[in-house]
A and B are shown apart, each in its own frame.
Chain A
Amino acid sequence: MSKEWPLWEVFIRSKQGLNHKHVGSLRAADAKMAIENARDVYTRRSEGISIWVVESNSVHANDPADADAYFEPSDTKIYRHPTFYDVPDGVKHM
């Protein structure tokens, strides 16, 4: 077997105004083929109006094993949320 086609991650915008969202992956020789194949397999029922493809080995990530510690600083800072604050009764538009 000759060289395998690279793996691509597929992102689809389902409609104007929404984010592109990861839907899956596929193999293709190049970006153009990846986009065409993504159209054929991931948008057969009007699931999208825009496709991004990214070569999988270009995606970098944090280690999920450390996720608890890694994201802990944001859990402890409850004063970042509006519900942390006391607002006197009768105050409007705040």
Chain B
Amino acid sequence: METYTMSNFNNEELEKRFQEKIDKEIKIEPNDWMPDAYRKNLIRQISQHAHSEVVGMLPEGNWITRAPNLRRKAVLLAKVQDEAGHGLYLYSACETLGADREQTIDDMHDGKAKYSSIFNYPAVTWADMGAIGWLVDGAAIMNQVALCRTSYGPYARAMVKICKEESFHQRQGFEILTTLCKGTEQQKAMAQDALNRFWWPSLMMFGPSDSDSPHSAQSIKWKIKRFTNDELRQQFVDAAAPQADILGLTIPDANLKWNEARQHYDFSEINWDEFWQVLEGNGPCNKERIAARKAAKENGQWVREAATTYAEKRALRKTA
């Protein structure tokens, strides 16, 4: 998009006006002046978020053909399709900041950009579809609801749309688990096993502890983030613990306990070593996920090229 400039302020004045807007809850829009670091920080966060939506399709896509009945299959298909849309909204938001979409994708493929570590865990049983919807989408929703008030307009609008679509994702997962928990002993055991495997990785989705989160303070000042990682994690535990009770499942944490004084659940320290290991690329599925994404891009290359050639030919024919 092109703009027509009438005047110029110096950088200091621009930065002051920028922070004033943020403080007054006025959204920043694509062509507005913004500090370079704000732009970079946003590109990093939004592209990481976009990659997570796209890579997140892999563990669930794996179960579409093996869903236990047609209803579950249609639901899972719709959910995975939503995630593709979420990826698109976010890549588009990223592009409004001047980021090159293909470059951000290649950065992920080359390991230079991250995606949520949760998707490096395998989905080995049908109950995992339940646990992923309940916990993984649940954690994502916690994070995304907070981001509906983020300071960058296109990101905030993408979040509003995404949140509307997400609301069925968590419910369908919880429904899968409810059904399994009311089923045979084996089915219930399957649900418990899925919870055991997905609980801790879900808590890790909120990112490193505030004390180890390098971008956190600045992101809060610029209102890119509205809550810290630890605050969101606590919210999530507080919401999930009673839900597990309703399912009749046990959260795999002996220290999980309601703290009357704090009005929050206490829980054990996360195994940060595992978190950093997975983030560094050493989780159970990191290589498989990146290989799948690279293959998708490479195998689709001829289709994109053919579409370009076809569009060019048609345009030529029109002008001829």
Contact = CB atoms under 8 A, between A and B. Distances in A.
Given A63-B31, A66-B7, A33 B307 contact: yes
Contacts of A7: 95
B102 A4 contact: yes
B6 A61 contact: no
Nearest to B314: A30
Contacts of B305: 2
A3 B301 CA distance: 11
Contacts of A25: 92, 95-96
Contacts of B102: 1, 4
A33 B312 CA distance: 13
Q: Is the interface of A mostly helix, strand, loop or mixed?
A: mixed
DSSP class of B's interface residues: helix, strand, loop or mixed?
A: helix
A25 B88 CA distance: 9
A63 B31 CA distance: 7
Interface string A48-75: 0000000011011111111001100000
Contacts of A64: 3, 29, 31-33
B89 interface: yes
Contact of B3 (A24, A33, A62): A62
B: interface residue count bin: 35 or more
B308 interface: yes
Contact of A26 (B8, B88, B165): B88
A44 B82 contact: yes
B269 to A, nearest CB: 41
Contacts of A77: none
Interface residues of A, number: 29
A27 interface: yes
B173 to A, nearest CB: 19
A63 B2 CA distance: 9
A3 B84 CA distance: 23
Contacts of A29: 304, 307-308, 310-311
Given A4-B102, A25-B92, A44-B82, A59 B1 contact: yes
Interface of A: 1-5, 7, 24-27, 29-30, 33, 40-41, 44-45, 56-57, 59-66, 69-70
Interface of B: 1-9, 14, 29, 31-33, 81-82, 84-85, 88-89, 92, 95-96, 101-102, 157-158, 161, 164-165, 301, 304-305, 307-308, 310-311, 314-315
17 contacts: A1-B102, A2-B304, A3-B308, A4-B102, A5-B307, A24-B92, A26-B88, A30-B315, A33-B307, A44-B81, A45-B164, A60-B4, A62-B3, A62-B4, A63-B5, A64-B31, A64-B32
